[in-house]
Amino acid sequence: MRQIDSRVLTETTEKSFMEITHLPGDDLIASLEKAHQNEKSPTGRDILAQILENAKIGREEHTPICQDTGNSVVFVEVGQDVHIVGETPSEAIKRGVSQGYTKGYLRASIVDDPLSRKNTRDNTPPFVHTEIVPGDKIKLTVMAKGSGCENMSRLKMLTPAQGRQGVVDFVVDTVRRGSGRPCPPLIVGVGIGGTFDLATYIAKKSLFRPIGEHHPEPYIRELEEELLEKINNLGLGPQAWGGRTTALAVHVETYPCHIASLPVAVNIECHSHRVKTVTI
Ligand code: SF4
């Protein structure tokens, strides 16, 4: 049994959140550069150039690429041969978020209660999802998820008879209805199957794939390609000022489901895509 001190989890969480708010990933930059080359709309090209310039400033000057430094979302895969010594993983990660947002002067955006709404002042609590996996490592993936895009995400319980076409229509309609509010160009995470709650879980998890990396199953890859084509045919474009680049990628994950169900969740991610994975 490998022992890992909970302070390692705290430090990794702290550093990762401080880093991702100003350091967009290489996959995001490459996707934006490709979109900039291919975008036909002059306004769309101009907006993409500004987004790229903003990302460059973030990298060089260590300033957040967006004022909304997000919901702190953390996915943890804990190897079954790991024993975490000290605090529980949830406590250690919460401490890491608190330290990272405080030391990094990052905007605190979380309220303690959805109705009375008092700011917790350190962006806690984070939203932590844990899976137990084989092995003796911990894989920690952090995401600073903006709420402009989270608010445009949707879930629908389709009937099985609505099938693949029902899924396509719902996903495209979700992007159309969001228009400029989720700050396109987007990464669209889609979860199909499972239950009411699991569909949303896999939709968000799909956003952790490198941008544009397709699902290994050919028929799901085809669905991702079709959805991207249809979404970009909407003509919303960057920040919905017109153009082809409404989305950079569509990622689909599926899960077994009940014979009477066809849940579909769409988790919309904005162009300020801030994600990092660390293996401990
Ligand atoms: S949706 Fe994304 S880009 Fe828009 S304000 Fe929120 S975090 Fe920033």
Residue ranges per domain, the chain? Answer: 2-20+65-145, 148-272
Q: Does the beta carbon of 183 sit less than 6 angstroms from any atom of ligand 1? A: yes
In whole angstroms, give the CA distance from residue 123 to residue 199. Answer: 26
Q: Does the beta carbon of 109 sit less than 6 angstroms from any atom of ligand 1? A: no
- The rounded Å distance from CA 42 to ligand 1 centre is 22
Of the candidates 82, 85, 102, 83, which has an alpha carbon nearest to the alpha carbon of residue 94? 102
pLDDT computed for residue 59 by the predictor: 93
pLDDT computed for residue 115 by the predictor: 98
CA-based angle 203:215:49, to the nearest 5? 75
pLDDT computed for residue 28 by the predictor: 97
Q: Does the beta carbon of 148 sit less than 6 angstroms from any atom of ligand 1? A: yes
- Average pLDDT, whole number, for the chain? 97
- The rounded Å distance from CA 77 to ligand 1 centre is 27
Token pair 């401080």 in the structure block, residue: 18
Non-local (6+) Cβ contacts of 113 within 8 A are none
Counting from 1 in the atom list of ligand 1, the atom nearest the Cα of 148 is 1
Question: What are the tokens at 167?
Answer: 């899924």
Q: Does the beta carbon of 146 sit less than 6 angstroms from any atom of ligand 1? A: yes
Q: Which fold has domain 2-20+65-145?
A: Dihydrodipicolinate Reductase; domain 2 (3.30.360)
Nearest CA to ligand 1 atom 4: 183
Nearest CA to ligand 1 atom 1: 148
Of the candidates 222, 157, 231, which has an alpha carbon nearest to the alpha carbon of residue 187? 231
Q: Does the beta carbon of 192 sit less than 6 angstroms from any atom of ligand 1? A: no
- The rounded Å distance from CA 271 to ligand 1 centre is 7
Helix/strand/coil for 90: helix
Distances (CA, A) of 85 to 10, 37, 175, 236: 12, 50, 44, 50
Rounded average pLDDT over 22-30: 95
The tens digit of pLDDT for each residue in 145-154 reads 999 999 999 9
pTM of this structure: 0.96
Rounded average pLDDT over 121-140: 97
pLDDT band, residue 133 (cuts 50/70/90): very high
Helix (H) or strand (E) holding 41: none
CA-based angle 140:141:144, to the nearest 5? 135
Work out the percent of the chain whose per-residue pLDDT is above 90.
Answer: 100
pLDDT computed for residue 243 by the predictor: 97
pLDDT computed for residue 101 by the predictor: 98
Q: Which amino acid is at 155?
A: L
pLDDT computed for residue 100 by the predictor: 98
In whole angstroms, give the CA distance from residue 185 to residue 47. Answer: 10
Question: What are the tokens at 136?
Answer: 């003796």
In whole angstroms, give the CA distance from residue 225 to residue 52. Answer: 24
